[in-house]
Structures are given as structure tokens and as C-alpha cells.
């Protein structure tokens, strides 16, 4: 691990201004992803700004009937909150399916949204990766590459990595909004639909944050009700990232929402797929994954997504 300087922030706007001022600065909270990347020298920040003292660790109710979640609320606290379990059970189930109990105790809400891909070519510094080293190429698209776990939709010729978060898939189905503070002290609200961006020709750009911008809260709108479920298909029963995950909200009249994980560089949802829900799993997945460009190794994900959703609809 390379040398770096360190400071503790006491004010969100000041922390954002400091991060913008020092080139190569990074925020750190739970550190469950960042520290691993630093040890591998994939992330090499010259300065760490500890945001744990900002007091952004509470869940409060909004005037609209939703919940406002502080960026420092741990995954464990969020999934266990009585209001989340009652009104947003989809989110509890998604969080509980991710990582391990020890990691969920440290991982934060904001950090979970910002975690980086687990593509093996991103983690292997001996291999080319446009996300890690822009312009070096995509190892996952090279001849003989291993791509079973990687993306089938929303990818590009520069990158086929997937976003690893379970929590973000549930929040996408729930229409969450990310709140931030900019280095100038202004606040922004970014719908989660717009927060994560597709790779295109610049896969190193993963979200809509400007340099130094700090996530302060994630807001959930008023509960949507209905039957909510999250199912994650993976190679191991625990402590594994999704091959395919499905977040489902289904109302009594058959309408609802569907979001997928494990298939794209961001939590994947389309309005036309939601509209197709009364027509069954095949119609939904056809709309969700229209335009998919799978590799020979991961084409099975399309069928797997359909079968997973079908099973969930039958159970619902």
C-alpha cells in the first residue's frame, strides 16, 4: 500500500470542498471496498478524508411519507430498521443477501452505491482493463477470456463489467433518489436511474458525481406496497456476487416493477418491462433485455433471468 495523508471531516460541505481541492483525494467511511483496492494498488489515493464524524447515520421520515437514509447508515442497521422491514421489505432482503454479516456491519449506504465492479480483469493488474487503466483494452473481451459473470446488456466494446451491489438493485426498483453536497456547498438530488452511468467509451466514469461531490442521503419515496421479493442466483449459497438477481414489486392487479442485477453496469430497469409484467416473465425479460449482447459464456443469463422471475411470480 502506498503512503497517503489522512484527515477527519466535521462538515459535509467542507469535506466536499477539501476533496475537490486535493487532487487524488478519496472519502472513506466503512472502507470495505476502498481498502481492498488500495492494497492491490488499483486505487491509489494520496489523501483520505474520513467522513465517519459527519453525523449522517440516521434514518428519518420525510413529509411525503418516505424515508431519508443517511449515507453513513450501515447496511446492517438499514436492513434491520423496523420501518424498512415493514414498508420496504425488498430492501431488507436485498441487503441481507449481500456480502457477510461482518462486512454489512461496516459497509455504509453511500459506499454501497459507489462500490466498484468485481470483474476479475479489473482486479488483475497484470491484465488490460479500460476501467482501471483507460485505453489499455478490455481483458474480458480478449480471445479466450472468462466472461461468465459479466454483463449482457448496457455494455460496450470498451467494458462488459457489472455493478456488484444488491442494495442498489432494490433501491432502483423502489425509485430511490441520491442526495449530495457539492464542493461549492450546493445540494443536488439525483434519481438512482441517472446516478450510475453506462460505460460507453469511458468506463472509468461510473457515476454522475462531480469531483469532490459527497453523497449525504438516499431518499425512498412513500411505500409502494404490494408483494415485494428479491432473489439472487449465485455460484455459492453465501458470500458471492450475483449471476442474476431480480427485485420484484407486484401489485394485486398484476402491475408492478422489476429490476435486475448481475447483468449490466448498473441496476437494470426499463419502463416498458414494468408495463409488461401482467403478461408474464417472458414478456418482461424480453423487454428488459432487448438489445442484449451476451458472450458465448454468459448467454445463459437471459434464460436464467426469465426462469428466476417466473418462479418469483408464481410464488407471489
Do 75 and 218 touch, CB atoms closer than 8 A? no
Order across the sheet with 5-8: list the strands: 5-8, 47-50, 25-28
At residue 214's C-alpha, the angle toward residues 212 and 220, to 5°, is 150
Query: For the chain, which ranges sit under pLDDT 50?
Result: none
Q: What is the pLDDT of residue 247?
A: 98
Say how many residues make up the chain.
316
- Single pTM value for the model: 0.97
Cell (9 digits) for 266 = 448498473
Q: What is the pLDDT of residue 288?
A: 98
Q: What is the pLDDT of residue 316?
A: 87
- Characterise 41 by phi-psi region: left (phi > 0), alpha (psi -120 to 50), beta (else): left
Long-range CB contacts for residues 50-58, cutoff 8 Å, separation at least 24: 50/6, 50/7, 50/8, 50/9, 51/9, 51/12, 51/15, 51/27, 51/214, 52/8, 53/8, 53/9, 53/10, 54/9, 54/10, 54/11, 54/12, 54/15, 56/12, 56/216, 56/217
Q: Which residues are within 8 A (CB) of 7 and not within 5 positions of it... i.e. 6 or more apart?
A: 18, 47, 48, 49, 50
Q: What is the pLDDT of residue 136?
A: 98
At 139-157, the pLDDT tens digits run 999 999 999 999 999 999 9
Q: What is the pLDDT of residue 266?
A: 98
Q: What is the pLDDT of residue 204?
A: 98
Q: How many CB atoms lie within 10 A of CB 156?
A: 18
Give the distance, in angstroms, between the CA of residue 274 and the centroid of all CA atoms in the same chain.
20
**Measured CA distances, 12 to 64, 186, 298 (Å):** 25, 11, 42
Do 33 and 13 touch, CB atoms closer than 8 A? no
Alpha carbons 112 and 117: distance in angstroms, whole number: 11
Amino acid at each position: 500500500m502506498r503512503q497517503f495523508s489522512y484527515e477527519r471531516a466535521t462538515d459535509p460541505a467542507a469535506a466536499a470542498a477539501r476533496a475537490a481541492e486535493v487532487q487524488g483525494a478519496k472519502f472513506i467511511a466503512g472502507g470495505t471496498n476502498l481498502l481492498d483496492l488500495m492494497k492491490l494498488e488499483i486505487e491509489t489515493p494520496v489523501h483520505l478524508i474520513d467522513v465517519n464524524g459527519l453525523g449522517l447515520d440516521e434514518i428519518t421520515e420525510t413529509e411525503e411519507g418516505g424515508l431519508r437514509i443517511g449515507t453513513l447508515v450501515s447496511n446492517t442497521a438499514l436492513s434491520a430498521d423496523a420501518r424498512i422491514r415493514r414498508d420496504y421489505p425488498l430492501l431488507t432482503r436485498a441487503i441481507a443477501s449481500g456480502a457477510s454479516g461482518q462486512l454489512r456491519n461496516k459497509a455504509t449506504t453511500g459506499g454501497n452505491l459507489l462500490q466498484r465492479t468485481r470483474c476479475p480483469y479489473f482486479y488483475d493488474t497484470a491484465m488490460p482493463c479500460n476501467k482501471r487503466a483507460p485505453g489499455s483494452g478490455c481483458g474480458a473481451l480478449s480471445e479466450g477470456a472468462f466472461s461468465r459473470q459479466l454483463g449482457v446488456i448496457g455494455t460496450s466494446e470498451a467494458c462488459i463489467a457489472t455493478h456488484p451491489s444488491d442494495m442498489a438493485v432494490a433501491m432502483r426498483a423502489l425509485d430511490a433518489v441520491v442526495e449530495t453536497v457539492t464542493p461549492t456547498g450546493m445540494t443536488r438530488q439525483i434519481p438512482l436511474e441517472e446516478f450510475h452511468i453506462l460505460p460507453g467509451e469511458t468506463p472509468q466514469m461510473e457515476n454522475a458525481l462531480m469531483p469532490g461531490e459527497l453523497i449525504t442521503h438516499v431518499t425512498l419515496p412513500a411505500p409502494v406496497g404490494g408483494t415485494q421479493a428479491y432473489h439472487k442466483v449465485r455460484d455459492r449459497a453465501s458470500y458471492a456476487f450475483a449471476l442474476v438477481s431480480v427485485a420484484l414489486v407486484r401489485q394485486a392487479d398484476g402491475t408492478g416493477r422489476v429490476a435486475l442485477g448481475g447483468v449490466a453496469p448498473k441496476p437494470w430497469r426499463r419502463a416498458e418491462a414494468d408495463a409488461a409484467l401482467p403478461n408474464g416473465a417472458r414478456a418482461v425479460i424480453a423487454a428488459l433485455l432487448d438489445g442484449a449482447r451476451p458472450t458465448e459464456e454468459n448467454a445463459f443469463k437471459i434464460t436464467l433471468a426469465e426462469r428466476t422471475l417466473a418462479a418469483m411470480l408464481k410464488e407471489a
